[in-house]
Amino acid sequence: MTQRKSIGAKLFIALIALTLISCCFLGSTFARYTSGGNGSASTGVAAWSINVTGGGASGNMDVDFTNKLSPSMDNFAGESAGQERTNSTGKILIATIKNTGEVAAKVTITAGDITIDNTVEYATDGSGITNVNAGNDGVAPTEAQVKGLFSVKLYQDDSAVFTNGTEIKGEITLSATTGVVYIFAEITWTSADTSGEKVADAIDTWVGENVTKISYAFSYTAVQASEIPAGN
């Protein structure tokens, strides 16, 4: 009997030891501080801001060229293309575009239709001024003959005074926050010399007597050109 008690006591002690060892093993390996709850992550939105000085609303810029412009005073050189007499306004600042947003932008500028303010109606018979009637009193050119005299080119520069600018032939990239570009336009008066000297001089004279203002409509679009953070 004594021997059985001794064996039972030993087994009980061994069981307790195994239990303690098991508790230590579980405690050090699997038991951890845990907690539950709700959280959120947030990020700021990169600002988008394109400011146009000199432009109208909705991406339009209506520019009145009040600078005086006359035809060239050069002598008639011939009727071949490329021999026409020309005179231009020079580069005129029409808009300043600034990117004050936090991402880069690509800006596209497009010249629209010309508007001519005239005090006498255009010819409505479709022929306008010809070699037959050039110089006759009361003869007017067609609208196409007058509008065909004028062309416009757009230029960009990094200064409000045109110095080292270039003609705009594609997108303009503006860096984030500080990107700025100055937009210039130049109108050229090209006499209709390919129709003959008499016709060209008669159309030029009519314009000088009856046209008071030339205007162009320009449109611009700006699209995002970088992202924050970069490379995503």
Q: Are strands 166-167 and 172-174 parallel, antiparallel or unpaired?
A: unpaired
- Using the structure block, give the residue that is written with the tokens 């009856």: 210
pLDDT at 200: 97
pLDDT at 73: 94
Q: How far apart are CA 72 and CA 146, in angstroms?
A: 15
- For 154, phi then psi, to 5°, come to -110, 145
Beta bridge partner(s), residue 86: 190
CA 85 vs. chain centroid, Å, equals: 33
- Each residue's pLDDT, cut to its tens digit, for the chain (232 residues) gives 545 545 544 444 443 343 433 444 444 444 444 444 444 444 456 666 767 776 544 455 566 666 688 999 999 999 999 999 999 988 988 889 999 889 899 998 888 888 888 999 999 888 999 999 998 999 999 999 999 999 999 999 999 999 999 999 999 999 999 999 999 888 999 999 999 999 999 999 999 999 988 888 888 888 898 888 876 5
| This prediction's pTM | 0.74
In this structure, the number of other CB atoms found within 10 A of the CB of residue 216 comes to: 20
Query: 191 and 81 in contact (C-beta within 8 Å)?
Result: no
Q: How far apart are CA 156 and CA 86, in angstroms?
A: 22
Eight-class DSSP state of 45 = P
Q: How far apart are CA 148 and CA 142, in angstroms?
A: 10
CA 155 vs. chain centroid, Å, equals: 13
First to last CA, the chain: 81
pLDDT at 145: 97
pLDDT at 66: 60
